[in-house]
Amino acid sequence: MIQIQPFDRLGRFRNEWLNARHHFSFGHYHDPARMGVGGLRVWNDDEIAPGTGFDPHPHRDMEIVTYVRQGAITHKDSLGNQGRTEAGDVQVMHAGTGIVHAEYNLEATPTRLFQIWILPGRQGVAPGWGARQFPKQVDGRLAALADGRPEADGTALPLYADAAVFAGTLKAGQSVRQTMRPGRAAYLVPATGAVTVNGTPVHTRDGAAITGETELAITATEDAEVVLVEVEG
């Protein structure tokens, strides 16, 4: 089953520096029918104004993945980590037993990103942070950017969850296939462009909640950049 959440129906938050859309309940936006997909609990579509950002704040017992779509984000945390993640790349923060972090757009243009929160498989892990550059398409499949599944091959950033984050750039008419174990669920968002998933149209920044499927045929109906999260159902 594939259920579409159109972009214009997402939750909204806006102030003088942040323009955010929420695929699931978050902050002041609450919809009991939109509480997540499996272990995926947050998918925020954020635009951060130049020279602004999220001041230091705490997290614990959550896997927080940031996929930068445009511009760059600069991370600082209480462990002493600091790094700049550019468009097309990903950073993963393990909140674990507790971490304080800040995220700033130190660029001259707006930064646009997806922030994705996944419940960990166990609580009380050591906090940590990492970021890497990745190819976004490998041999006709989406590339794994962060992966905590038992079958993970160690090339992606690790997750303390039985989950994975994939991304890929497709030309119009190009297709990729993704397989999932029975009982798994997924959530797919085209950061740009449009695709079909097993024949179901998904437009720019729409969300597609996928359950009960073991193989996904993703076809670009126009040039597209796709992000997909697979989780325990």
Write out pLDDT tens, residues 177-189: 999 999 999 999 9
Nearest to 192 by CA among 123, 112, 129: 112
| Dihedral-angle region of residue 139 (phi above 0 means left; psi in -120 to 50 means alpha; beta otherwise) | left
Helix, strand or coil for residue 30? Answer: coil
The per-residue pLDDT for range 129-173, each reduced to its tens digit, is 999 988 776 667 899 999 999 999 999 999 999 999 999 999 999
CB-CB contact of 131 with 85 (8 Å): yes
| Structure tokens, 195 | 């695709």
Whether the pTM exceeds 0.85: the reply is yes
132's enclosing H/E stretch is strand 128-132
The per-residue pLDDT for range 53-95, each reduced to its tens digit, is 999 999 999 999 999 999 999 999 999 999 999 999 999 999 9
Distance of alpha carbon 103 from alpha carbon 106, whole angstroms: 9
185's enclosing H/E stretch is strand 184-197
| Structure tokens, 107 | 């660029």
Q: Given this model, what pLDDT does residue 139 score?
A: 65
Buried b vs exposed e over 98-119: b needs ≥16 C-beta within 10 Å?
ebebebbbebeebbbbbbbbbb
The per-residue pLDDT for range 146-155, each reduced to its tens digit, is 999 999 999 9
Domains, the chain, in order of start with CATH, read 2-132 (2.60.120.10), 137-232 (2.60.120.10)
Q: Given this model, what pLDDT does residue 135 score?
A: 79
Q: Given this model, what pLDDT does residue 138 score?
A: 65
Q: Given this model, what pLDDT does residue 141 score?
A: 80
